[in-house]
Amino acid sequence: MPRRTYEKSGSKIEQASDLDEAVKDKRVEWRASPSKERRRRRRYEKRLTKELLFRGVED
């Protein structure tokens, strides 16, 4: 079972295409509907994007 995506995963992202590979949902089989899966994925992508933006400001 893959680990959940956290903000720490943002350190592994260098290109925009890496974002898709970094976002993992370990409960994908348990979701009630595909729309909830997409919503969760968008949430994780947003969290990682925010982390990348703030990391760029701090550097």
Residue 45 lies in a domain: yes
Domain range for 37 = 7-58
Q: In this predicted structure, what is the pLDDT of residue 56?
A: 65
Q: Write down the pTM of the prediction.
A: 0.59
Q: Which residue, among 55, 40, 42, has the nearest Cα to 9 in the 3D structure?
A: 55
Q: Which residue, among 29, 36, 27, 34, has the nearest Cα to 4 in the 3D structure?
A: 27
Task: State the average pLDDT over residues 9-27.
Answer: 68
Residue 43: which pLDDT band, with cuts at 50, 70 and 90? confident
> Residue 35 burial by CB count (10 A; 0-12/13-18/19+): exposed, middle or buried?
exposed
Q: In this predicted structure, what is the pLDDT of residue 45?
A: 83
How many structural domains does the chain have?
1
Residue 50 lies in a domain: yes
Q: Is the pLDDT of residue 59 over 60?
A: no
Q: Is the pLDDT of residue 31 over 80?
A: no
